[in-house]
Amino acid sequence: MRLFILLLLFSTTVSAQKSYQKTYFKNSKIKTEGWINNNQKINYWKFYYSNGTLQKEGHFSEGLETKYWYFYREDSSKEKEGHFKNGKQNDWWLFYNNSGVLNYKCQFKNNLKNGYYLCYQNYTLKKIEKYKDGKKIKEWIDIESFKK
């Protein structure tokens, strides 16, 4: 019986640490919403502009951005999207122009360009660059030469 009471008290204490939090701007519009555990952001979060439109959304783990995130402009058009790992940009990221058309794709590692950067114009691949640790090491303007 004592073990049961101890387990019950422990589980109540642990679950009480996790809560859903919302913050608001002075104009009463929502500013942020998401899960908190031990004063750190966890799970899925949304952030808003003061006009009420969505600014960004994604996951946290122990207070750091993780997994896939989406970012929006104040007019609600998509600005960029990509992967975070331990609070840093990693893997592929996609960037959009003001009309929501893909401008470029880029690979990151620990917030630095690391891999390919693909630049588009009018839905057509126009330029490819390759980066290592944030420094450009190669560029192709002729897409056929890149394919070889």
Tens of pLDDT along 6-34?
Answer: 444 444 445 558 999 999 999 999 999 99
**Six token digits for residue 29:** 């519009």
Q: Is residue 123 part of a domain?
A: yes
Nearest to 47 by CA among 59, 64, 63, 62: 59
Containing structural domain, residue 103: 20-147
**What does the alpha-carbon distance between residue 83 and residue 58 come to, in Å, rounded to a whole number?**
9
Please name the residues in contact with 103: beta carbons below 8 A apart, sequence gap of 6 or more.
Answer: 95, 96, 97, 119, 120
The number of domains in the chain is: 1
What pLDDT score was predicted for residue 17?
Answer: 83
Tell me the β-bridge partners of 46. 33, 57
Q: Is residue 38 part of a domain?
A: yes
Backbone angles phi, psi at 44, to 5 degrees: -85, 135
Q: Is residue 110 part of a domain?
A: yes
Nearest to 114 by CA among 101, 142, 133: 133
Q: Is residue 86 part of a domain?
A: yes
pLDDT in tens, 53-106: 999 999 999 999 999 999 999 999 999 999 999 999 999 999 999 998 999 999
Q: Which amino acid is at 140?
A: W
What pLDDT score was predicted for residue 16?
Answer: 55
Nearest to 104 by CA among 112, 95, 113: 95
**What does the alpha-carbon distance between residue 67 and residue 87 come to, in Å, rounded to a whole number?**
9
Q: Is residue 7 part of a domain?
A: no
Predicted model pTM: 0.84
Q: Is residue 59 part of a domain?
A: yes
Q: Which amino acid is at 22?
A: K
Q: What is the CATH number of the domain that holds 66?
A: 2.20.110.10
Q: What angle do CA 63, 45, 118 make, to 5 degrees?
A: 90
Q: Is residue 45 part of a domain?
A: yes
Sequence-ordered strand ranges (E) for 3-96: 18-24, 30-37, 40-48, 54-61, 64-72, 78-85, 88-96
Q: Is residue 141 part of a domain?
A: yes
